[in-house]
Structure 1
Amino acid sequence: MARSQLTPFHNPKLRLLLVGVTTAIAAILLPEWLSLPIRLLAAWDAGMICLLVLTWWVMLRSTPAMMRKVAQQQDVSRLVISIVVTTAAVVSVLAIALMLQESKQTSSILFALYLALSLVTILSAWMLVHTIFALHYAHGYYRDGSQSLQEAKAEELDFPGEVDPDYWDFLYFSFVIGMTSQVSDVEIISRSLRKLALLHSILSFFFNTMVLAMSINIVASLIQGGK
């Protein structure tokens, strides 16, 4: 299929439906000898990985011309962003807390399984947060469906180069903020988008700090357990 053609997966409702089905199937198929919290966490991970794969597949197959058509449809509101970030943070904390609890009463093999599951949970949550922000930045850039490079530069973001940015550019912009809590070589023109980038930076800082602090607790727990 040509990269310039829209696919059914460009419909966010279909993607969410597939995510729900994937989560349900994972929850049903997981063995019963696993504890309920572990099964729920694994099912959550399956759904998040499905969502990330579908969203990235759509984003990386979309040209700037396609983005003008679907950016409005693909956008998520700031309320949704807040919900996603809060949920991701809560689930990440629960995953690490569960990991610490299970490490005290399981075999080394199960502990390794729980550790891997916790890492997948944290990584998928982190990637989801910044992917959602990238979608929102793209919508802000192509919000009227016909934004040209010159018009966009005057109103939202100024990407270096002479070609219209695609989702790779917005992913780059979003993940740089997520990793460094600051912008890169992309200049923010819009005041409203500058506010969103500030919120993104603050949330990224606290999310990264929280994960680091909890990870240190895991290492300390492992050291104490080995004594």
Structure 2
Amino acid sequence: MASDVRDGRRAPTATAALASAAGVGLVAAVVCTVTVSWRFGFLLGWMAAALTFLVRLWIALWPMNADETQQHAAREDPRKPVADVVMVAAALVSLAAVGLMLTGSTGGRDLQAALSVCSVALAWGVVHTVFMTRYAELYYDEEPGGVDFGDDRPPVFSDFAYLAFTVGMTFQVSDTQVTGPLLRKAVLRQALLSYVFGAVIIATLINLIAGLGK
């Protein structure tokens, strides 16, 4: 079986990506809090952490073949999804940060609007990326299986991204068949979270449009 090592570097797991993202986010939050305000510090810290998390994972995972995908997924224990829980919780907290910013001072509304939209978009991307890696971990845990992608080719991360972002955008699976009970539970959790995000995104956009029109 191939190793998930490219150019002498092992691809980061979700836990490793979380650790580096937390460091970057903390630095950004402290700097912005000291120089601007705590509201901006909280939001920009989250945005820096989310962007770091997404960039590290996508650059590492997208090019992987099936053997590398399985090897990488096996490095995470699907029964201890600490990084998954932390990142999803942080994404939900970021929505509260958007609310704090929008209910704060009325100065710089254009900047607040831009940051709010970017924050929600990053939170949306983080949630579905976390579920992408989660599906890979569950699929390759012990005996591979639990999702029928419609062909005999072993799935790679782009296949799991297809599943995760389809659920994220439509609240359901499309042409893939989920057969594993643990994967069904994960899909249900993602669909419920996606519904919440959809409602918050619509409410945020309405609030921003109404605020910019004043």
Common topology (TM > 0.5)? yes
Q: Provide TM-score, normalisation by structure 2.
A: 0.85
What is the CA RMSD across the aligned residues, in angstroms? 2.4
The answer for the alignment partner of 1:56 in structure 2 is: 58
- CA contact 1:75–1:136 (8 Å) conserved in 2: no
Q: Can you list the C-alpha shifts for 1:25-45, whole angstroms capped at 9, x where unaligned?
A: 323544844222102211221
Q: Report the Cα distance in structure 1 between the residues aligned to 2:40 and 2:161, rounded to whole angstroms.
A: 31
Give the superposition deviation at 1:89.
2.0
Alignment of 1:169-208 (within 5 A): 169-208=159-198
Which structure 2 residue ranges, 5 or more long, are not aligned?
none
Alignment of 1:145-160 (within 5 A): 147=144, 152=145, 156-160=146-150
Q: Which moved more, 1:21-30 or 1:200-209?
A: 21-30
The answer for the alignment partner of 1:90 in structure 2 is: 93
Residues 1:37 and 2:39 aligned together = yes
- CA contact 1:74–1:135 (8 Å) conserved in 2: no
Decide which of 144, 151, 154 is 1:161's aligned counterpart.
Answer: 151
Q: Report the Cα distance in structure 2 between the residues aligned to 1:180 and 1:96, rounded to whole angstroms.
A: 25
Cα distance change on mapping 1:195 and 1:32 into 2, 3 Å: closer
Q: Which amino acid aligns with 1:162?
A: D
User: Which structure would you say has the larger Rg?
Assistant: 1
Q: Report the Cα distance in structure 1 between the residues aligned to 2:73 and 2:4, rounded to whole angstroms.
A: 15
Name whichever structure is richer in helix by fraction: 1
- CA contact 2:66–2:154 (8 Å) conserved in 1: yes
Residues 1:5 and 2:5 aligned together = yes
Which structure 1 residue ranges, 5 or more long, are not aligned?
none
- CA contact 1:9–1:15 (8 Å) conserved in 2: no
Residues 1:134 and 2:132 aligned together = yes
Query: In the comparison of the two structures, how many residue pairs are matched?
Result: 209
Q: Report the Cα distance in structure 2 between the residues aligned to 1:83 and 1:5, rounded to whole angstroms.
A: 26
Q: Provide TM-score, normalisation by structure 1.
A: 0.81
Percent identical? 26
Q: Which amino acid aligns with 1:117?
A: L
Cα distance change on mapping 1:13 and 1:119 into 2, 3 Å: same
